[in-house]
Amino acid sequence: MTNVPNPKRQRQKELRRLKLEQERKAALAKKRRTGAILAVLAAIVVIGILFLTDRSGDDPEPAANDATPADPSAPKAVAVMTTSEGTLEIELAADISPNVVEAFKTMANEGFYDGLTFHRIVKDFAIQGGDPEGTGTGGPPTKTVDEVPEDFRYVRGTVAMAKAGNEEPGTAGSQFFIVPSDSAADRLTPDYAVLGTVTSGMETVDKLNEVPTTVREGQQEQSTPVNPVTIEKVEIREP
């Protein structure tokens, strides 16, 4: 008797064959995709290694206003300020304001402050100087910015940088102010870049604080020294 093929079984057999073929092709495609991904990742790693190796010999100049904060425990530079009322020493806070301190040191070393005045002295509040115009409106062509710690208090002996009211916190030009009393902390918000702290010569600060003043035009409080009070020289002593 002749065997007659069963159409149903033939279809089932063909379907199984097609399914196996599809699974084989899918597995092969997945393998190829995995291999391609691994190849791309390997290429990226190689390129990264080559890039880092090529950059390892670079010694770029630091970006403006992007100085690296100093180690708080490291010895600090000191600004020795000779004034017409005596000498004081300011330990510079490069760990808080690296950009401001670096700019101040540069200006001092170039003689920028020599011969300028303390144009504004408000008793028990601020002793302000460093303006080449002597009016409170002058300064260098470029300014720096440093973040001011939110909880910072400007106590007796603090030296900070003055700024205009419309400038962002931490902006600094050349003008600075010395805080002559702890009571000033209640009147100063943490908006002024910290330059440093007077570590020697507070008796000079006290003398500056007592300088006779008159009312400056357009202001209500006495602030202009009757006789000029000068900054004779600022010298930087590195640690």
Using a CB cutoff of 8 Å and minimum separation of 24, what contacts does 104-110 make? Answer: 104/79, 104/172, 104/174, 104/176, 104/195, 105/77, 105/79, 105/236, 107/140, 107/174, 108/79, 108/234, 108/235, 108/236, 109/236
Range 152-164 average pLDDT: 97
pLDDT value at position 221? 76
The Cα 227–Cα 160 span in angstroms is: 24
Tell me the per-residue pLDDT of 47-79, one tens digit each, with 9 for 90 and over: 444 444 443 333 333 334 556 666 777 889 999
CATH for the stretch 78-237: 2.40.100.10
The Cα 158–Cα 182 span in angstroms is: 9
**Domain boundaries in the chain?**
1-60, 78-237
The Cα 4–Cα 57 span in angstroms is: 82
The Cα 208–Cα 159 span in angstroms is: 14
pTM: 0.70
The Cα 234–Cα 206 span in angstroms is: 19
pLDDT value at position 42? 52
Tell me the per-residue pLDDT of 196-209, one tens digit each, with 9 for 90 and over: 999 999 999 999 99
